[in-house]
Amino acid sequence: MTILHVTDFHFNKRWFNWLFHHAPAHDLVAMSGDLLDLTAVTPHGRQIEWVSDWLGDFPRPIAVCSGNHDLEWDPATGRWTPAYWLRRIDNPNVWTDGQRVSLDGLSILNIGATTQPKGGAADVWVVHAPPTGTTVATRASGADAGDPDLVAAVSRHAPRLVLSGHVHEAMRWCDDRRGPLCLNPGYNPDAPFPNYILVRTDDLSCEFITAARGADWTPGEMAETAALEPAGA
């Protein structure tokens, strides 16, 4: 099975169109959060309607988790609430926050941005922020923007693969130094298509593609030498 991993579309309609019509061959899309953009001119509610319709029409299996930009504002309580709109998508091809599915012998768990406790028994996690302490969670400046709640969860549940985003320009796009293979395609807002990673699940080999260049990683290869390019390059 081949997984196409994308992240952080931030309501870029061109990228949604690319994923629908022009993405490379794959068996499953993993979309690790921030489908919407809180800074966009388009009102948040309109973004939710547009992306909901897009997901409702998506023709292939897609596993989606919410990111911090995907939360809903509740004026009655004056606070942000979980992305319940994702759970209302009426499409059997779409799996969202809290759902666990099995494909080709692999179990896949979608972990929402506000989910607590984090994690669960599954081979593949789709989660917005990477685990703290990984190079895919660390910005080029050295600041760690990962999720500390995932660290203990990874040790407890031992997923094989953690597909994330959130950190737009991480030090590396892959990290396998502390157990599972952690991937983050990063974010290149001016590119004609999103950064993406193709994962072959039989051996967990990966191909990272940006609009400018690509890189490969195979099991047993040092992540430091395999992932030479920043995820946000």
What are the 10-residue block averages of pLDDT along the chain, 233 residues in total?
A: 98 98 96 97 96 98 98 88 96 96 95 94 98 95 94 95 97 88 96 96 92 65 38 39
Structure tokens at 171: 């030090």
In a domain, 232, yes or no: no
The C-alpha atoms of residue 87 and residue 227 are separated, in whole angstroms, by 34
Q: In what order do the strands lie in the sheet with 62-65?
A: 94-95, 62-65, 28-32, 2-6, 196-200, 205-209, 214-217
In a domain, 108, yes or no: yes
In a domain, 9, yes or no: yes
Rounded to 5°, the CA angle 26-3-171 comes to 130
In a domain, 196, yes or no: yes
CA distances 204 to 96, 98, 174, 219, Å, are 23, 24, 11, 7
In a domain, 114, yes or no: yes
pLDDT value at position 217? 61
pLDDT value at position 224? 37
Q: What's the domain range around 97?
A: 2-226
pLDDT value at position 77? 86
Q: Which residues contact 72 (CB under 8 A, 6 or more apart)?
A: 44, 48, 80, 81, 82, 83, 84, 85
Greatest Cα pair distance in the chain = 52
E strands, 9-160, are 28-32, 62-65, 72-74, 79-81, 94-95, 100-103, 106-111, 124-127
pLDDT value at position 74? 86
pLDDT value at position 214? 60
Sign of CA dihedral 68, 73, 79, 82: negative
In a domain, 233, yes or no: no
- Tally of structural domains, the chain: 1
Give the domain CATH number at 29: 3.60.21.10
